[in-house]
Structure 1
Amino acid sequence: MMNPQWLKSFATLAELGSFTDSAERLGITQAAVSQHIRHLELQLGPVILRSKRPLELTPAGSALLDYCQQIDRAHHHLMLRLSDAEATCGEVSVISPGSIGLRLYPLLLSLQEQHRDLTVRHRFAPDSEVIDAVLHNRYEMGLVTHKPDDKRLEAHPFAEEPLELIVPANTRVTGWNDLEKLGYIDHPDGQAMATRLLGRLFPGNPGIRNLPQRGFSNQIGLILEPVARGLGFAVLPRYARLAFTRPETIEVAAEGNALVDTIWLVHRAEWPLSARAQLALAWLQRHL
């Protein structure tokens, strides 16, 4: 790695175009600036054309200046990430299950519109991937539907989200026979969700596996599309329904008997959340 002082002298010389002015700004002698440039040129070849006034960079000099600027940007980014004093700069990183994520991401973008120096990085993932990503510091915080028992993680209740039985608009469901007529639209978590909710709504039912399956999708934003077209029913968390773009084509059956799940916020236990993450959490909890 090249000496940082040499790089600083070169970047200043590239900006000012004068050894004398560069030495004055850096608080060193002109001879010291010249020596720093010679050290660089021993490694890279000529980086400036001394015969030109003002000085001109060679192709190697242009590449070196770009390298210096990248270092400056990386240093600035590091300082933002390490600074808890500045809550409105830097990256907010969140990983969450699909349903709650559909609600969170637009809210985070609204926060970013107010603070343009923030960067939002969000990923949809199941609980197991959320926990792994937070444990390995790929994301600062995550949301899960089951409280983890890993001592390396802190977990706090974040929100409540009911499971809902969602049917085509103007569809009446009074018993298990109505579900058999509709058929089931499945998704990756569908069997588990449907078993839990339908067990409450229709005690003693023969089980979700005994219903005709009319479709399957692993895209959270598309699961309700076949329901909207009258092709079946689905069991999903509420935020997935609220994010659906054609709410008039679906409705919630047996709404008063919803099964409510707790959404848990998780982060590494060894250190506190950054000021940016705390700002984002406060924003989300105000607007959810």
Structure 2
Amino acid sequence: MSEQPRSLIAAPHPDVAPLPAPAPRVLRGVPYGEVDGGRPLELDLWLPEAGHGPAPLVLFVHGGAWRRGRRDDMGLRTRHWNPGPFARIAAAGFAVACADYRLSGEARFPAPLDDLRAALRWLELRAPELGVDTARTVVWGESAGGHLASLLALDPAAPATGAVIWYAPSDLTVPRGPFDPHSATTPEALLLGAAPATVPERARAASPVARVHRDAPPFLLVHGEQDTMVPATHSEALATRLREAGAPVELHTVPGADHGWHGAPDDVVDEVFKRSLRFARGLVS
């Protein structure tokens, strides 16, 4: 096949591809990046009502132990909400982008973090068309997605105004709860490509507690006190490190809540969401 037909058949590059028609104010499956030999990287967008100038942005990062998950899933306790959590965030005046990233069965760290950086780059590039102000970006993630969102917010090159982090790992170097850094079969090991104890530099690079700096944006860390998968000491350790660096941080623990807010009453989960949204709004107002 000649080069000309090949170039015509290929899908348009995400930098110039036409945006889908909104239906209504939700864009599904928008390609934002290409990975050689891999699947296209896509995101979903919830856009607020037009007419109030460029909207601040929430970049949401889904959980799933870095190995599974859906970009438009905020977790077990929000799946039945109607309207859903992203529609609620958009109703508060934000644009919401829920981005794919490569999972640990596809590529090892730092691939998923690179993908989220690419999503931010694409959103900045297409911001005028979308009516989005990426200079006011809050990253929001849960579980493994909260871990990646923390790293993204701590990247001095990322345009993060702040971070909302739910029950996320913060340290891949020391044992906490069920995590054993010497095991090659944990989700953390699958993310890194080896037992964390055998690749200490990589494990440290993937640990938010080791990436803290004094210019970090404000963090809200929320964690269940009875979390059996990712102990609350992860958020406590990150909060301590941020305070020591002089960076702003709020830590809120939820009594009786396990991972994913399992075991917490509905009204408590609703208040966690509202607290998180208030925090995000306060950063961009």
TM-score by length of 1: 0.29
Give the structure with the larger helix fraction. 1
